[in-house]
């Protein structure tokens, strides 16, 4: 079969190509199928055995999708079940896209130690920048491959979406975009109730500009340091107050650098030099709010753990809405959990990117 139009999506990396290992069938794509990976990183797809045509990985810091192409646009991929004796699925002119993240409402806010919107995307509530980037791909497929920018199916919330598959005849007659949940012979419910109507509106240029406060394209950058010893006693949280503030974009940390930030969403890497931590013992680090006089206001439910087996750099990525009395502080706290002795924080560095919250 003749393959028409460009086969490589221009923004996509070709680093993880599987077409040489699994050649598949040539086709003329006229249907787009969306999946969610139900994970937070680019999958290995068992070496390509279950890979789609493309994967979109959210870059939350830079607010963009990073695209990876595994098969040509008009080459069958392998992310759908194709039962013997039924209709064709992967080879039925379907270009498939995996969106890294989740559609499970149980993970709409948090997922283990991760926070939605900061560490991963819950696609039914995806930010506009992600939907716009997806719309760019849908538009490119329309303009270069004639895949209609339309969807005539209902996008059902997961897990009820596992029961809305098209019949074989409906699938064979379908043109446009749908989800894994709609494909016959498949029992998956992804990508749930993603707002595909908004994606199509962006394709057609009918969505009004976003109003109100929006995140700047580039975040504020902050670097703080503490060189004084901080002794940790078993079970007693200690606040890391900073002694040195290096020049940064925000330039808004009062009290000699004690305040990390106020009223922000942030992504940060905290590096600690710890002594006295035995191999089998742990410390927890977490974000917290406190009033300007130092009294506690509220702790983040997201904690990071350092064990004696793994000292060193510890990434922290949580969202703490600091909306309260002027002067309230966003701080980090450390607490040790051990039966005897003490742990000392000898040095601490904080490198942070932050965005003002509306």
* Gap between the Cα atoms of 277 and 262, Å rounded: 32
The pLDDT score that the predictor gives to residue 259 is 53
Q: How far is CA 201 from CA 136, 197, 206, 227, in A?
A: 11, 6, 5, 53
In tens digits, the chain (358 residues) has pLDDT values of: 678 999 999 999 999 999 999 999 999 999 999 999 999 999 999 999 999 999 999 999 889 999 999 999 999 999 999 999 899 999 999 999 999 999 998 888 788 878 888 889 999 989 889 999 999 999 999 999 999 999 999 999 999 999 899 999 999 999 999 999 999 999 999 999 999 999 999 999 887 655 444 444 556 777 778 888 888 877 778 888 877 776 555 444 444 545 566 555 666 677 778 777 776 777 777 777 666 666 776 665 556 666 665 555 454 444 444 334 445 566 777 777 655 567 888 888 777 766 665 4
The pLDDT score that the predictor gives to residue 110 is 82
Please spell the DSSP secondary structure of 295-306, one letter per residue.
-EEEEEEEEEEE
Q: Is the pTM value of this prediction over 0.75?
A: no
Q: Which of the following CATH numbers is that of domain 220-356: 3.30.70, 2.60.40, 2.60.120, 2.60.200?
A: 2.60.120
* Gap between the Cα atoms of 77 and 146, Å rounded: 19
* Gap between the Cα atoms of 346 and 119, Å rounded: 29
* Gap between the Cα atoms of 109 and 297, Å rounded: 21
Please answer whether residues 100 and 37 qualify as being in contact, where contact means their C-beta atoms are separated by less than 8 angstroms: yes
The pLDDT score that the predictor gives to residue 152 is 96
Q: How far is CA 184 from CA 76, 161, 169, 275, in A?
A: 17, 13, 10, 58
CB atoms < 10 A from the CB of 355, how many?
19
| Homologous superfamily, domain 31-204 | Peptidoglycan recognition protein-like (3.40.80.10)
The pLDDT score that the predictor gives to residue 211 is 43
Extents of the domains making up the chain: 31-204, 220-356
Q: Kindly give, in sequence order, each residue whose CB lies less than 8 Å from that of residue 33, ignoring residues fewer than 6 positions away.
A: 52, 79, 80, 94, 95, 96, 97, 177, 178, 179, 180, 183
On the question of a common fold for 31-204 and 220-356, the answer reads: no
The pLDDT score that the predictor gives to residue 59 is 94
């Amino acid at each position: 079969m003749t393959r028409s139009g460009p086969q490589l999506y221009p923004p996509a990396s070709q680093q993880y190509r599987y077409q040489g290992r699994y050649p598949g069938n040539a086709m003329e794509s006229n249907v787009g199928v969306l999946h969610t990976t139900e994970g937070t990183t680019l999958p290995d797809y068992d070496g390509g055995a279950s890979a789609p045509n493309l994967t979109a990985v959210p870059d939350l810091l830079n607010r963009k999708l990073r695209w990876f192409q595994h098969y040509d646009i008009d080459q069958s991929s392998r992310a759908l079940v194709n039962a013997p004796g039924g209709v064709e699925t992967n080879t039925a002119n379907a270009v498939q896209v995996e969106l890294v993240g989740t559609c499970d409402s149980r993970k709409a806010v948090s997922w283990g130690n991760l926070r939605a919107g900061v560490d991963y995307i819950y696609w039914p509530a995806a930010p506009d920048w992600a939907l716009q980037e997806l719309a760019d791909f849908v538009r490119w497929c329309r303009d270069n491959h004639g895949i209609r920018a339309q969807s005539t199916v209902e996008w059902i919330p997961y897990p009820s979406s596992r029961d809305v598959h098209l019949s074989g005849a409906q699938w064979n007659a379908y043109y446009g975009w749908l989800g894994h949940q709609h494909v016959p012979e498949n029992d998956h419910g992804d990508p749930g109730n993603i707002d595909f109507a908004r994606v199509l509106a962006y394709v057609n240029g009918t969505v009004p500009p976003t109003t109100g406060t929006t995140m700047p394209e580039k975040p504020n950058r902050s670097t703080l340091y503490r060189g004084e010893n901080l002794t940790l006693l078993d079970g007693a949280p200690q606040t890391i107050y900073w002694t040195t503030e290096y020049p940064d974009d925000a330039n808004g940390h009062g009290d000699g650098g004690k305040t990390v930030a106020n009223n922000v969403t942030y992504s940060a890497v905290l590096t600690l030099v710890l002594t006295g931590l035995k191999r089998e013992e742990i410390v927890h680090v977490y974000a917290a709010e406190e009033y300007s006089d130092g009294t506690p206001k509220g702790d983040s439910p997201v904690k990071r753990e350092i064990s004696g087996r793994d000292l060193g750099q510890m990434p922290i990525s949580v969202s703490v809405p600091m909306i309260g009395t002027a002067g309230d502080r966003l701080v980090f706290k450390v607490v040790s959990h051990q039966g005897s002795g003490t742990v000392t924080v000898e040095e601490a560095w904080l490198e942070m990117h932050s965005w003002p919250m509306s």
